[in-house]
């Protein structure tokens, strides 16, 4: 494994938030599995093959840090709840539009049983050409918030126990050689009165971890997040700005961490232009210096048609290249993969 200090990336490293549309053939294959017509082993092979296909999509688009597209995950909370001891499942509940998920219920103390995504990481590592890959994990607060709590006396107690579970998983990923993990917390700011302990839960989830940790927060009021920039022990905040028309960037004032800047809207099929992307990056550089910026879509791409997702990534990379050209003239070409919790 490469030593940490050697990991150099082009300035404005491009990455994804995590999810990517499943190829049509995989969706068909999953349906056949559900109908009992193919075995679990065959499905596992199909998942592995699908990861190769979607990693290639990202790499062809020019993305520096790909993910495995979360091919195996139907839903971000359900997937982890299935792997953690203490959960049981009820019938599907509607989340957004016509999307359903099986809402998990906590019925006993939650406990870490065995690695959940380490094999996924190793497969991704094996098939990606990129030097660095990203592994995503749903954070303790969001798992607690999106589950029925039928055991703990408070959501807070549940979240802190889940933080221990997530912490064990991140440490397993670190042992396996992962360099970059992203904790996904879309629910983080949804109950502002819980922010104090929610932030503490995130910090406990990453306690003692020595690799790069990003925190992705979306569908959120970032003014609620702002007072916690200092306290969050993560290297990076990955935030959405395209679907806000790049308004409200002032909330980044005082951010003393890297920013994963969302430049393409995942809720619109309209493909942005490289110039729009470049212009947005130009704007955000008034608040965050280029050495502290990563560029990504607003959120996971899974709800888009695959062709649109691929095209959005290509355009994102083209837009970044425009800005890189300007930065090169200022002598800024490379950044080092950073672990620390500050970037000022
Ligand atoms: Zn998101």
The 3-state DSSP class for residue 172 equals: helix
Distance CA 292, CA 102 (A): 38
Ligand 1 centroid–CA 330 distance in Å is 33
Ligand 1 centroid–CA 314 distance in Å is 19
- Does residue 196 carry a pLDDT above 90? yes
Q: Quick one: pLDDT at residue 147?
A: 95
Mean pLDDT of 158-179: 98
Of residues 94, 114, 52, 102, the one with CA closest to residue 75: 102
| Between 6 and 149, the higher pLDDT residue | 149
The domain 7-74+133-138+178-336 having CATH identifier 3.40.50.300: the answer here is: no
- Does residue 99 carry a pLDDT above 80? no
Ligand 1 centroid–CA 217 distance in Å is 6
Mean pLDDT of 272-283: 98
> How does residue 94 score in pLDDT terms, banded at 50, 70 and 90?
confident
Ligand 1 centroid–CA 19 distance in Å is 9
Ligand 1 centroid–CA 218 distance in Å is 5
- Does residue 3 carry a pLDDT above 90? no
- Does residue 299 carry a pLDDT above 90? yes
- Does residue 194 carry a pLDDT above 60? yes
Share of the chain above pLDDT 90, in %: 93
Distance CA 56, CA 74 (A): 21
Mean pLDDT of 205-234: 96
Ligand 1 centroid–CA 56 distance in Å is 22
Q: Quick one: pLDDT at residue 244?
A: 94
Distance CA 169, CA 175 (A): 10
DSSP assignment of 257-294 equals: SEEEEE-S-TT--SPP-HHHHHHHHHHHTTTS-GGGEE
- Does residue 98 carry a pLDDT above 80? no
Ligand 1 centroid–CA 255 distance in Å is 19
Mean pLDDT of 77-92: 92
> How does residue 5 score in pLDDT terms, banded at 50, 70 and 90?
low
Ligand 1 centroid–CA 216 distance in Å is 6
Rounded alpha-carbon distances, angstroms, from residue 216 to 46, 105, 222, 238, 320: 28, 24, 12, 5, 20
Ligand 1 centroid–CA 301 distance in Å is 9
Ligand 1 centroid–CA 91 distance in Å is 24
Ligand 1 centroid–CA 186 distance in Å is 6
Residues around the ion ligand 1 (C-beta < 5 A): 218, 299
Distance CA 298, CA 264 (A): 6
Spatial neighbors of 80 by CB under 8 A, at least 6 apart, are 116, 137, 138, 143
Question: What does the domain layout of the chain look like in residue ranges?
Answer: 7-74+133-138+178-336
Ligand 1 centroid–CA 188 distance in Å is 11
pLDDT tens column, 178-188: 999 999 999 99
- Does residue 96 carry a pLDDT above 90? no
Q: Quick one: pLDDT at residue 6?
A: 77
CA-derived radius of gyration, the chain: 19
Mean pLDDT of 33-60: 97
Ligand 1 centroid–CA 96 distance in Å is 13
Ligand 1 centroid–CA 32 distance in Å is 29
- Does residue 155 carry a pLDDT above 60? yes
Ligand 1 centroid–CA 110 distance in Å is 25
Q: Quick one: pLDDT at residue 50?
A: 98
Distance CA 98, CA 112 (A): 32
| Between 313 and 4, the higher pLDDT residue | 313
- Does residue 167 carry a pLDDT above 90? yes
Q: Quick one: pLDDT at residue 92?
A: 78
pLDDT tens column, 234-256: 999 999 999 999 999 999 999 99
Ligand 1 centroid–CA 298 distance in Å is 7
Ligand 1 centroid–CA 300 distance in Å is 6
Ligand 1 centroid–CA 279 distance in Å is 22
**Mean pLDDT, the chain, whole residue set:** 95
Ligand 1 centroid–CA 35 distance in Å is 31
The residues that bridge with 334 in the sheet, in sequence order, are: 10
């Amino acid at each position: 494994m490469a030593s940490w200090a050697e990991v150099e990336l082009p300035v404005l490293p491009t990455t994804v938030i995590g999810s990517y549309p499943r190829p049509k053939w995989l969706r068909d294959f999953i349906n056949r599995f559900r109908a009992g017509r193919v075995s679990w082993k065959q499905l596992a092979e199909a998942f592995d093959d699908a990861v190769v296909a979607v990693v290639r999509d990202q790499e062809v688009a020019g993305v520096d840090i790909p993910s495995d597209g979360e091919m195996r995950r139907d839903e971000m909370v359900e997937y982890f709840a299935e792997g953690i001891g203490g959960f049981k499942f009820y019938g599907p509940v509607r989340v957004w539009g016509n999307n359903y998920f099986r809402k998990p219920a906590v019925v006993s103390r939650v406990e870490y049983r065995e690695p959940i995504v380490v094999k996924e990481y190793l497969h991704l590592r094996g098939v990606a050409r990129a030097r660095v890959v990203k592994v995503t994990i749903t954070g303790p607060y969001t798992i607690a918030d999106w589950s029925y709590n039928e055991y703990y006396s408070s959501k807070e107690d549940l979240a802190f126990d889940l933080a221990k579970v997530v912490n064990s998983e991140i440490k397993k990923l670190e042992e396996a050689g992962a360099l970059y993990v992203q904790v996904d917390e879309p629910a983080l700011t949804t109950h502002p009165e819980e922010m104090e302990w929610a932030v503490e839960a995130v910090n406990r989830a990453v306690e003692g971890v020595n690799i790069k940790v990003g925190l992705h927060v979306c569908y959120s009021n970032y003014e609620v997040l702002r007072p916690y920039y200092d306290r969050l022990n993560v290297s990076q905040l990955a935030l959405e700005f395209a679907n806000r028309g790049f308004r409200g960037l002032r909330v980044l004032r005082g951010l003393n961490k890297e920013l994963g800047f969302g430049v393409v809207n995942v809720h619109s099929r309209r493909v942005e232009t490289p110039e729009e992307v470049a212009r947005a990056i130009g704007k955000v550089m008034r608040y965050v210096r280029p050495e502290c910026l990563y560029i990504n879509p607003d959120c996971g791409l899974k709800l888009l048609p695959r062709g649109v997702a691929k095209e959005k990534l290509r355009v994102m990379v083209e837009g970044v290249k425009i800005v890189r050209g300007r930065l090169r003239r200022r002598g800024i070409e490379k950044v080092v993969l950073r672990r620390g919790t500050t970037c000022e």
